[in-house]
Structure 1
Amino acid sequence: MSGRELTLLTEGSVELVGQIARSSNETFLVQLSHGDDTAHAVYKPEAGERPLSDFEPGLYRRERAAYLLSEFLGWGMVPSTVIRDDAPLGVGSLQWFIDCDFREHYFTLAAEDPATHPDMARMALFDYISNNTDRKSGHVLRGGDGRIWGIDHGLCFSAVFKLRTVIWDFAGEAIPAALLADIAPLAYAVPAEVAELLDDDETAALKRRVRRMLQEGTLPVDLTGMRYPWPLV
């Protein structure tokens, strides 16, 4: 997280701009202001969460945990995300807004630009270890600088394995040694700042998933053909 992003996300005033359409939970575009500096962010308040039978309220904590996990790994694939309790609709996550062409998403990028494949394969690994239940194609963005980002991680880290993703093109491929080295520390210890956002069963399950990837050395395969989110985009 750059200094500017940190200042705006943690100290900036938050003004609602509008609600983001077609989101399962109430999600808002907000403007952050600190002095003369402004930027946009995505705000997900707990008050706007739809009740779920398999996730406790507080999905915003999982958004923050996914960001922290990505940063711990050094992968930088989740936009800067903080938790604010003084936002307009109460406590929730604020995530730095990624300027991009929203006509692009995983399916178009993977098909049209092979240069994105290493980043997509790495995201597949991230989704496995974080147990992402909702990696839709539209949750993969390419920023204006060409960088690949993953967004919308509120349904991650369940202790029960429930991976659902559209990124299966790299299933069975060998995981590069450098990525295995990145995840290895998680096999027996989850960073405290991530663990405090999850419960004990969830952190234990995260470690088990990492150990499995280290043992198998290949990206997961969906033997059922059913581990897809809906809608796909």
Structure 2
Amino acid sequence: MSGRELMLLAEGRVDLIARIPRSSNATFLVRVSWNGESAHAVYKPESGERPLSDFEPGLYRRERAAYLLSEYLQWGLVPPTVIRDDPPLGVGSLQWFVACDYREHYFTLYGDEPQTHGDLARIALFDVISNNTDRKSGHVLRGHDGRVWGIDHGLCFSADFKLRTVIWDFAGNPVPDALLVDIAPLAEEVPSNVEELLYPAEVRALRRRVQRILSSGVLPADPTGMRYPWPLV
């Protein structure tokens, strides 16, 4: 995607269309309009977040941090995401809306579309690095252009290991050398624009997770069989 998407998200007028159903936190489909153009986006206001015992308020910041981390790695897994303080319901994240066939998700892509396995394994690695606590099958989308995306990263980056995901099919597989090269700098330093959105302990934990992957060279397994989100889709 180009800078046009980020400009629309960052500068456009935000108009509410509807609340997106079946979301734990209040999530809205909106239209952003700027300079004669408009597009759909997903708006997650802090005011709509359900209080959690293990995450501080401000999950929208983690949505932005996941996007910035994906961009730093040049993986392009997370749709463009910005933070705005002026939308109708207050400060929150705006993420570019991915148009896709919503009958498709991780389970269907893995089972029916072997050509997506490389992208899916890369998402699995991203989830380990970002400590994703909520990788449901429906959080993996394939756009109409065939591109595979990961969405919904509000429950990432905890300092405590909380990985919960449906993507265990690649457990124990070697991480391709090119991806190890991509993540290696994170073992020493996290980009400042990601770091400023997280707590210091979370930044240190991110570096440690990367160090473990570099040391093992493989995607981790779940010996407990319990590290799944609910619902699965």
Give the C-alpha shift of residue 35 in structure 1. Answer: 2.6
Matches within 5 A, 1:11-160: 11-160=11-160
SS at match of 1:38: strand
SS at match of 2:223: coil
* Residues in 2 aligned to 1:35 and 1:80: alpha-carbon distance in whole angstroms: 19
SS at match of 1:128: helix
Q: Which amino acid aligns with 2:224?
A: T
Q: What do the CA deviations read for 1:144-193 (whole angstroms, capped 9, x no partner)? A: 11000000000000000000000000000000000000000000100000
SS at match of 1:209: helix
Q: What do the CA deviations read for 1:105-140 (whole angstroms, capped 9, x no partner)? A: 000010000000000001000000000000000000
* Residues in 1 aligned to 2:179 and 2:6: alpha-carbon distance in whole angstroms: 27
Structure 1 partner of 2:183: 183
Structure 1 partner of 2:214: 214
Q: Which amino acid aligns with 1:177?
A: D
Q: Which amino acid aligns with 2:140?
A: V
- The answer to whether the 8 A contact 2:6-2:81 is kept is no
Structure 2, unmatched stretches of 5+, are: none
Q: What do the CA deviations read for 1:55-77 (whole angstroms, capped 9, x no partner)? A: 00000000000000000001000
Give the C-alpha shift of residue 3 in structure 1. Answer: 2.2
* Residues in 2 aligned to 1:3 and 1:164: alpha-carbon distance in whole angstroms: 32
Identity %: 74
Structure 1, unmatched stretches of 5+, are: none
SS at match of 1:164: coil
Q: Which amino acid aligns with 1:81?
A: T
SS at match of 1:82: strand
SS at match of 2:138: helix
- The answer to whether the 8 A contact 2:168-2:221 is kept is yes
* Residues in 1 aligned to 2:46 and 2:37: alpha-carbon distance in whole angstroms: 27
Q: Which amino acid aligns with 1:91?
A: V
Equivalent pairs, count: 233
Matches within 5 A, 1:162-173: 162-173=162-173
Give the C-alpha shift of residue 23 in structure 1. Answer: 0.1
SS at match of 1:43: strand
Q: Which amino acid aligns with 1:5?
A: E
Give the C-alpha shift of residue 6 in structure 1. Answer: 1.7
* Residues in 2 aligned to 1:66 and 1:6: alpha-carbon distance in whole angstroms: 15
Give the C-alpha shift of residue 4 in structure 1. Answer: 1.3
Give the C-alpha shift of residue 87 in structure 1. Answer: 0.6
Structure 2 partner of 1:197: 197
* Residues in 2 aligned to 1:49 and 1:231: alpha-carbon distance in whole angstroms: 19
Give the C-alpha shift of residue 7 in structure 1. Answer: 1.5
* Residues in 2 aligned to 1:22 and 1:184: alpha-carbon distance in whole angstroms: 37
SS at match of 1:120: helix
